[in-house]
């Protein structure tokens, strides 16, 4: 098994992160939806107004994945939560413990920050990811339907 290390990403990782974003999108059959650039990643993840954070994962010093996360808030718990936007491990490094190490790292961070929970979304057809998450004790949430307002609809409501 390779030695897995997790570290906070730096601005120098922007091109690597963009590569991982494209790999993840391709895997999710949505590469055509990626609109970001290296410059946009620098601005939004490392700029002064950044509200999201990113860690990278390495196996024996080789970058193999990343996680993007941000803090949200639960009024019912009266606590922050940690939301994982992306968790990606290159396919050739899956099943070596890297995903578990990322979740362990983020779980420790969540507890340090007194978060009440960690949440993320997974595509309903991604059986291997679902199996992995459930093996760690994560439970699917089926009470809520996720909605999204973006593009033209977002602009129309904001400017009406």
Active-site residues: which are they?
A: 133
Starting at the edge strand that comes first in sequence, how are the strands of the sheet with 79-89 ordered? 4-8, 53-59, 62-74, 79-89, 118-120
| Radius of gyration, alpha carbons of the chain | 16
Q: How many CB atoms lie within 10 A of CB 89?
A: 26
* Signed CA dihedral, 77, 79, 80, 82: sign only: negative
Rounded Cα–Cα distance for residues 132 and 140 (Å): 12
Q: How many CB atoms lie within 10 A of CB 100?
A: 15
């Amino acid at each position: 098994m390779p030695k897995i290390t997790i570290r906070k990403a730096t601005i120098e990782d922007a091109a690597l992160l963009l590569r991982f974003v494209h790999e993840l999108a391709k895997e999710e059959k949505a590469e055509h939806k990626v609109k970001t650039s290296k410059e946009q990643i620098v601005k939004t993840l490392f700029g002064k107004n950044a509200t999201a954070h990113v860690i990278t994962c390495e196996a024996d010093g080789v970058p193999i994945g990343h996680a993007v996360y941000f803090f949200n808030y639960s009024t019912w718990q009266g606590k922050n939560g940690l939301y994982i936007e992306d968790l990606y491990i290159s396919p050739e490094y899956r099943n070596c413990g890297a995903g578990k190490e990322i979740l362990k790292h983020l779980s420790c961070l969540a507890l340090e920050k007194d978060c009440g929970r960690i949440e993320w979304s997974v595509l309903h057809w991604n059986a291997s990811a679902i199996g992995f998450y459930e093996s760690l004790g994560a439970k699917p949430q089926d009470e809520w339907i996720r909605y999204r307002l973006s593009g033209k609809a977002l602009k129309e409501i904001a400017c009406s």
